[in-house]
Amino acid sequence: MPVLKLTPQFIATSLTCPDGKTRVEYCDTYAVGLYIAVRDSSPGQGVYYLRWKDPNNKTCHTKLGRTIDIDLAEARKAARQLRNDIALGANPQAEARATKAVPTVAEFFEEQYLPYAKPRKRSYRRDEEMYRLRIKDNFGRMKMNEVTRKQVQLFHNRLLDDGLKPASADHYVKLMRRAWNLSVEWQVLESSPLTRLTLFLPDNRIEHYLSPADLEKLVDVLRTAPPRTVCNVALFLLSTGARLNEALRARWDQIDKVTRVWRIPASNSKSKRIRSVPLNDAALEVLNQLDTEGKYDNLFINTRTKKPLVNVHKVWGRLREKAGLEWLRIHDLRHSYASFLVNSGRTLFEVQQILGHSDSKVTERYAHLSSKTLQEAANAASIAIKGAIKAA
């Protein structure tokens, strides 16, 4: 272990390993603890290290860089800074082990996040798809703590160039943000670099409402056209304001015709809370037309497979075309139900409770529909004013 004052000339000309040895350390007398390790397999170059002792008096070695990457002055500066940090309590070995223990993005998603999300999120398959299609290719090999806000923001922008809609691009960032927040919860990382990322937040709310003429055309088709099962599903949605998934999962043991209530379990509800849907005359009429009561657990059964109905969109496309309402989506039946309530003078609070909105802000989208009711309310002030004028 030669000890000498290292110089740039020595490093340029004398980094060789003595005969019979596979490795040698050239120790610097100028910077305490600094040395260059040279191997016989790489003559002419070496690696700068700092030798130091941890709190247990154990000798440790921290790599500073290769001689072909940094010069002697930079190595001495790095060694001096590291010695100062150690004197203040830093432990480079422990920090290095912690850094090494941080999983890659691929490891975290595949071994921790996705197994965690699978039993907890209805949108798990969508999460898995987004990870597999784009997140893995762009970030999979990186350590979780190597991903920066800028990298994710640029990735977010590139998604638009790939043809994704702004709302779809936002879903990718929301998924990544959720994963990194969990990594902090689980003490994988100390903090997340993805907080406060700016989203596109497009206003994608498209709501179609049935006019009286549209409603008449639709109901005429749904009451007469085949196949009757899908027609009854649509009529049930129109009569209850339920979501399609809630209706397709509905079971007879959730229906109480006497009290006229349909109790949707938390497992079927988007809000993950039990909610009760009042059954009006139109809804009860649909239920009375079904021939599945007492024969099957579910309300709506595929007549061919004899199993619960799971997909109606293809048939729905034909039905709305037959009614001349090609623009009408299946979810618009829920919006139309809400419009029936609001336009008849029911309060937004009542609409919120029936539709099962967990946040009143969601229900406020229907506020503009109550213009007729609000006009009638405003006329009360007009009547009072006119009455005062007459009295004068």
- In this predicted model, what pLDDT tens digit does every residue of 53-87 receive, in sequence order? 988 889 999 999 999 999 999 999 999 999 998 88
- pLDDT (tens digit per residue) in 169-204: 999 999 999 999 999 999 999 899 998 889 998 866
Longest dimension (CA), the chain: 120
Q: Angle, nearest 10°, between helix axes 332-343 and 348-355? A: 150
Task: Give dist(CA 245, CA 301) in Å, integer.
Answer: 14
Long-range contacts at 242-250 (CB < 8 A, ≥ 24 apart): 242/277, 242/334, 243/270, 243/331, 243/334, 244/312, 244/330, 244/331, 245/270, 246/270, 247/299, 247/300, 248/298, 248/300, 248/308, 248/309, 248/310, 248/312, 249/298, 249/308, 250/298, 250/299, 250/300
Residue 298 has a pLDDT of 97
pLDDT at 225 over 70: yes
Mean pLDDT of the chain: 90
Residue 369 has a pLDDT of 66
Task: Give dist(CA 346, CA 34) in Å, integer.
Answer: 80
pLDDT at 392 over 60: no
Pairing of strands 23-28, 47-53: unpaired
Bridge partners, residue 48, by sequence = 36, 65
Task: Give dist(CA 230, CA 310) in Å, integer.
Answer: 10
Long-range contacts at 372-380 (CB < 8 A, ≥ 24 apart): 372/343, 373/342, 373/343, 373/345
- pLDDT (tens digit per residue) in 239-257: 999 999 999 999 999 999 9
pLDDT at 159 over 90: yes
Bridge partners, residue 198, by sequence = none
Verify cis geometry, omega within 30 degrees of 0, for the bond prior to 8: no
Cα–Cα nearest to 322, from 248, 226, 208, 240:
226
Query: What are the two backbone dihedrals, phi and then psi, of residue 149, each rounded to the nearest 5 degrees?
Result: -60, -40
Classified as helix, coil or strand, 201 is coil
pLDDT at 326 over 70: yes
* DSSP code, position 211: -
Q: Which residue has the higher pLDDT, 190 or 28?
A: 28
Question: Residues 75, 80, 81, 87: is their CA dihedral positive or negative?
Answer: positive
pTM of the model: 0.57
pLDDT band of residue 374 (cuts 50, 70, 90) is low
Task: Give dist(CA 145, CA 9) in Å, integer.
Answer: 39
Residue 268 has a pLDDT of 84
H helix or E strand, kind and range, residue 63: strand 59-66
Q: Which residues contact 128 (CB under 8 A, 6 or more apart)?
A: 114
